[in-house]
Amino acid sequence: MKLDQQFIDIGATSRDEVIKELGIDIGDPIIFEHSYSPLGKGDLVVSRCFDDKIGTFIIAEVLRKLKGTEFGGSVHAVSTTQEEIGTRGAITSSYSVNPQVGIAYDVTFASDSPDMKESDIGIIKMGGGPVIVRGPNINPILFDLFVNTAKELDMPYQLLAAPRATGTDARSIQMTRSGVATALIGIPNRYMHSMSEVVNLFDVDMIVRLSVAVIQKITKEMSFIPK
Protein backbone atom coordinates (compact mmCIF):
# COMPACT_ATOMS: atom_id res chain seq x y z
CA MET A 1 0.00 0.00 0.00
CA LYS A 2 1.38 3.38 -0.98
CA LEU A 3 2.02 6.01 1.68
CA ASP A 4 -0.69 8.32 0.33
CA GLN A 5 -3.24 5.53 0.84
CA GLN A 6 -2.38 5.04 4.52
CA PHE A 7 -3.54 6.86 7.64
CA ILE A 8 -3.28 6.30 11.39
CA ASP A 9 -6.37 6.95 13.50
CA ILE A 10 -5.36 8.18 16.97
CA GLY A 11 -8.77 9.51 17.95
CA ALA A 12 -7.93 13.17 17.37
CA THR A 13 -10.16 15.75 15.73
CA SER A 14 -7.61 18.45 14.88
CA ARG A 15 -3.91 19.10 14.25
CA ASP A 16 -3.61 21.08 17.49
CA GLU A 17 -4.99 18.15 19.48
CA VAL A 18 -2.40 15.81 17.95
CA ILE A 19 0.60 18.04 18.64
CA LYS A 20 -0.33 20.07 21.72
CA GLU A 21 -2.57 17.69 23.68
CA LEU A 22 -1.34 14.24 22.65
CA GLY A 23 2.30 15.26 22.18
CA ILE A 24 2.69 13.54 18.82
CA ASP A 25 4.81 15.25 16.16
CA ILE A 26 5.85 14.65 12.56
CA GLY A 27 8.26 11.73 12.28
CA ASP A 28 7.48 10.11 15.65
CA PRO A 29 7.81 6.30 15.43
CA ILE A 30 4.87 3.93 16.05
CA ILE A 31 4.33 0.26 16.87
CA PHE A 32 1.23 -1.95 16.71
CA GLU A 33 -0.63 -2.55 20.00
CA HIS A 34 -3.43 -5.13 20.17
CA SER A 35 -4.90 -4.68 23.65
CA TYR A 36 -7.92 -2.62 24.71
CA SER A 37 -6.96 1.02 24.99
CA PRO A 38 -8.46 4.53 25.05
CA LEU A 39 -7.92 6.36 21.78
CA GLY A 40 -7.26 10.08 21.97
CA LYS A 41 -8.85 12.34 24.58
CA GLY A 42 -12.52 11.58 23.95
CA ASP A 43 -14.79 8.52 24.23
CA LEU A 44 -13.12 6.41 21.55
CA VAL A 45 -11.61 3.04 22.47
CA VAL A 46 -9.76 0.50 20.36
CA SER A 47 -9.46 -3.28 20.66
CA ARG A 48 -9.55 -6.49 18.69
CA CYS A 49 -12.91 -8.16 18.05
CA PHE A 50 -15.31 -5.42 19.10
CA ASP A 51 -17.36 -7.23 16.45
CA ASP A 52 -19.17 -8.48 18.38
CA LYS A 53 -17.75 -8.44 21.91
CA ILE A 54 -19.20 -4.96 22.30
CA GLY A 55 -22.66 -6.33 21.51
CA THR A 56 -22.29 -8.94 24.23
CA PHE A 57 -21.10 -6.25 26.65
CA ILE A 58 -24.17 -4.14 25.88
CA ILE A 59 -26.50 -7.07 26.53
CA ALA A 60 -24.80 -7.74 29.87
CA GLU A 61 -25.15 -4.07 30.85
CA VAL A 62 -28.84 -4.07 29.88
CA LEU A 63 -29.43 -7.09 32.14
CA ARG A 64 -27.54 -5.44 34.98
CA LYS A 65 -29.59 -2.25 34.74
CA LEU A 66 -32.89 -4.15 34.44
CA LYS A 67 -32.20 -6.07 37.64
CA GLY A 68 -34.55 -4.93 40.37
CA THR A 69 -36.78 -2.92 38.02
CA GLU A 70 -40.31 -3.70 36.88
CA PHE A 71 -41.13 -4.69 33.32
CA GLY A 72 -43.83 -6.75 31.68
CA GLY A 73 -42.05 -9.85 30.46
CA SER A 74 -39.04 -12.12 30.77
CA VAL A 75 -35.73 -11.28 29.14
CA HIS A 76 -33.38 -13.85 27.63
CA ALA A 77 -29.85 -12.83 26.67
CA VAL A 78 -27.87 -14.80 24.10
CA SER A 79 -24.33 -14.47 22.79
CA THR A 80 -24.57 -16.37 19.53
CA THR A 81 -21.95 -18.35 17.64
CA GLN A 82 -21.15 -18.46 13.91
CA GLU A 83 -22.98 -15.25 12.99
CA GLU A 84 -20.44 -14.57 10.24
CA ILE A 85 -21.03 -17.88 8.49
CA GLY A 86 -24.81 -18.13 8.37
CA THR A 87 -26.19 -16.78 11.67
CA ARG A 88 -26.31 -20.38 12.86
CA GLY A 89 -26.30 -19.64 16.59
CA ALA A 90 -29.20 -17.22 16.17
CA ILE A 91 -31.24 -19.90 14.39
CA THR A 92 -30.88 -22.49 17.15
CA SER A 93 -31.11 -20.11 20.12
CA SER A 94 -34.16 -18.26 18.79
CA TYR A 95 -35.90 -21.57 18.19
CA SER A 96 -35.15 -22.62 21.76
CA VAL A 97 -36.18 -19.35 23.44
CA ASN A 98 -39.20 -18.83 21.13
CA PRO A 99 -39.46 -15.07 21.83
CA GLN A 100 -42.26 -12.69 20.89
CA VAL A 101 -39.75 -9.84 20.50
CA GLY A 102 -36.10 -10.05 19.49
CA ILE A 103 -33.44 -7.34 19.52
CA ALA A 104 -30.12 -7.92 17.76
CA TYR A 105 -27.03 -5.86 18.61
CA ASP A 106 -24.18 -5.70 16.13
CA VAL A 107 -21.55 -3.27 14.95
CA THR A 108 -22.19 -1.26 11.81
CA PHE A 109 -19.75 0.64 9.60
CA ALA A 110 -19.07 4.25 10.57
CA SER A 111 -18.61 6.59 7.63
CA ASP A 112 -16.40 9.21 9.33
CA SER A 113 -12.98 7.89 8.35
CA PRO A 114 -11.01 8.40 5.11
CA ASP A 115 -11.48 4.82 3.90
CA MET A 116 -15.29 4.97 3.90
CA LYS A 117 -17.75 6.59 1.47
CA GLU A 118 -21.02 8.01 2.74
CA SER A 119 -22.53 7.25 -0.67
CA ASP A 120 -21.83 3.55 -0.09
CA ILE A 121 -23.03 3.08 3.51
CA GLY A 122 -24.92 6.22 4.52
CA ILE A 123 -23.97 8.78 7.15
CA ILE A 124 -23.07 7.03 10.40
CA LYS A 125 -20.92 8.97 12.87
CA MET A 126 -18.94 7.90 15.92
CA GLY A 127 -20.54 9.59 18.92
CA GLY A 128 -23.82 10.10 17.04
CA GLY A 129 -25.75 7.71 19.26
CA PRO A 130 -27.51 4.38 18.61
CA VAL A 131 -28.06 3.33 15.02
CA ILE A 132 -31.70 2.25 14.69
CA VAL A 133 -32.11 0.11 11.59
CA ARG A 134 -35.27 0.02 9.49
CA GLY A 135 -36.30 -2.16 6.58
CA PRO A 136 -38.18 -5.38 5.73
CA ASN A 137 -36.13 -7.34 8.29
CA ILE A 138 -37.36 -5.00 11.04
CA ASN A 139 -40.77 -4.85 12.70
CA PRO A 140 -42.10 -1.30 12.05
CA ILE A 141 -43.91 -0.99 15.39
CA LEU A 142 -40.78 -2.02 17.30
CA PHE A 143 -38.74 0.39 15.17
CA ASP A 144 -41.12 3.24 16.05
CA LEU A 145 -40.91 2.29 19.72
CA PHE A 146 -37.11 2.69 19.66
CA VAL A 147 -37.25 5.99 17.77
CA ASN A 148 -39.99 7.51 19.93
CA THR A 149 -38.27 6.39 23.13
CA ALA A 150 -34.99 7.99 21.97
CA LYS A 151 -36.89 11.22 21.36
CA GLU A 152 -38.50 11.07 24.81
CA LEU A 153 -35.07 10.60 26.38
CA ASP A 154 -33.75 13.56 24.33
CA MET A 155 -31.08 11.17 23.07
CA PRO A 156 -29.20 11.47 19.78
CA TYR A 157 -29.82 8.60 17.39
CA GLN A 158 -29.01 7.65 13.82
CA LEU A 159 -31.05 5.84 11.18
CA LEU A 160 -29.82 3.20 8.76
CA ALA A 161 -31.91 1.78 5.92
CA ALA A 162 -31.49 -1.93 5.17
CA PRO A 163 -33.49 -2.72 2.01
CA ARG A 164 -33.19 -6.50 2.38
CA ALA A 165 -32.26 -9.05 5.06
CA THR A 166 -29.45 -7.62 7.20
CA GLY A 167 -26.13 -9.39 7.51
CA THR A 168 -26.79 -9.91 11.22
CA ASP A 169 -28.66 -12.23 13.56
CA ALA A 170 -31.78 -10.12 13.01
CA ARG A 171 -32.57 -11.92 9.76
CA SER A 172 -32.71 -15.31 11.48
CA ILE A 173 -34.51 -14.05 14.60
CA GLN A 174 -37.29 -12.57 12.45
CA MET A 175 -38.02 -15.88 10.69
CA THR A 176 -37.96 -18.12 13.77
CA ARG A 177 -40.95 -20.46 14.08
CA SER A 178 -44.06 -18.41 13.17
CA GLY A 179 -42.12 -15.12 13.14
CA VAL A 180 -40.66 -12.72 15.70
CA ALA A 181 -41.03 -8.93 15.98
CA THR A 182 -37.39 -7.99 15.45
CA ALA A 183 -35.28 -4.87 15.91
CA LEU A 184 -31.64 -4.25 15.07
CA ILE A 185 -29.49 -1.74 16.91
CA GLY A 186 -26.17 -0.87 15.30
CA ILE A 187 -23.03 0.17 17.17
CA PRO A 188 -20.92 2.58 15.08
CA ASN A 189 -17.59 0.91 14.37
CA ARG A 190 -14.42 1.82 12.49
CA TYR A 191 -12.11 -0.73 10.81
CA MET A 192 -14.46 -3.69 11.19
CA HIS A 193 -12.86 -7.14 10.97
CA SER A 194 -9.41 -5.75 11.70
CA MET A 195 -7.08 -6.04 14.70
CA SER A 196 -7.85 -2.43 15.65
CA GLU A 197 -11.60 -1.93 15.75
CA VAL A 198 -12.83 1.35 17.24
CA VAL A 199 -16.08 2.16 19.04
CA ASN A 200 -17.32 5.13 21.04
CA LEU A 201 -18.26 4.61 24.69
CA PHE A 202 -20.88 7.37 24.48
CA ASP A 203 -22.68 5.36 21.79
CA VAL A 204 -22.43 2.24 23.93
CA ASP A 205 -23.91 3.99 26.96
CA MET A 206 -26.76 5.48 24.92
CA ILE A 207 -27.61 2.07 23.44
CA VAL A 208 -27.80 0.54 26.91
CA ARG A 209 -30.03 3.36 28.21
CA LEU A 210 -32.32 3.20 25.18
CA SER A 211 -32.64 -0.58 25.33
CA VAL A 212 -33.55 -0.59 29.01
CA ALA A 213 -36.21 2.08 28.46
CA VAL A 214 -37.73 0.19 25.50
CA ILE A 215 -37.84 -3.14 27.33
CA GLN A 216 -39.57 -1.49 30.28
CA LYS A 217 -42.33 -0.28 27.91
CA ILE A 218 -43.10 -3.67 26.38
CA THR A 219 -46.09 -5.52 27.84
CA LYS A 220 -47.67 -8.86 27.01
CA GLU A 221 -50.76 -7.04 25.72
CA MET A 222 -48.74 -5.05 23.17
CA SER A 223 -49.38 -5.96 19.53
CA PHE A 224 -46.59 -5.80 16.98
CA ILE A 225 -48.82 -6.54 14.01
CA PRO A 226 -48.51 -3.64 11.54
CA LYS A 227 -51.74 -1.90 10.62
Contacts of 87 (CB under 8 A, 6+ apart): 80, 168, 169, 171, 172
Among the listed residues 205, 218, 226, 221, the one whose alpha carbon sits nearest the alpha carbon of residue 101: 218
Catalytic annotation on 83? yes
Q: Which residues share a beta bridge with 38? A: 45
- Tell me if 103 sits within 8 A of 182, measured CB to CB: yes
Q: Is there a cis peptide before residue 115, judged by omega within 30 degrees of 0?
A: no
Q: 46: part of which helix (H) or strand (E)?
A: strand 44-47
Catalytic residue from among 83, 84, 152, 221:
83
Q: Give the Å distances, CA to CA, from 139 to 62, 133, 146.
A: 21, 10, 11
CA angle 91, 181, 178 (to 5 degrees): 60
β-bridge pairing 158-161 and 101-109: unpaired
Give a three-class secondary structure readout of 192-204: CCCCCEEEEHHHH
Q: 94: part of which helix (H) or strand (E)?
A: helix 88-97
Active site members: 83
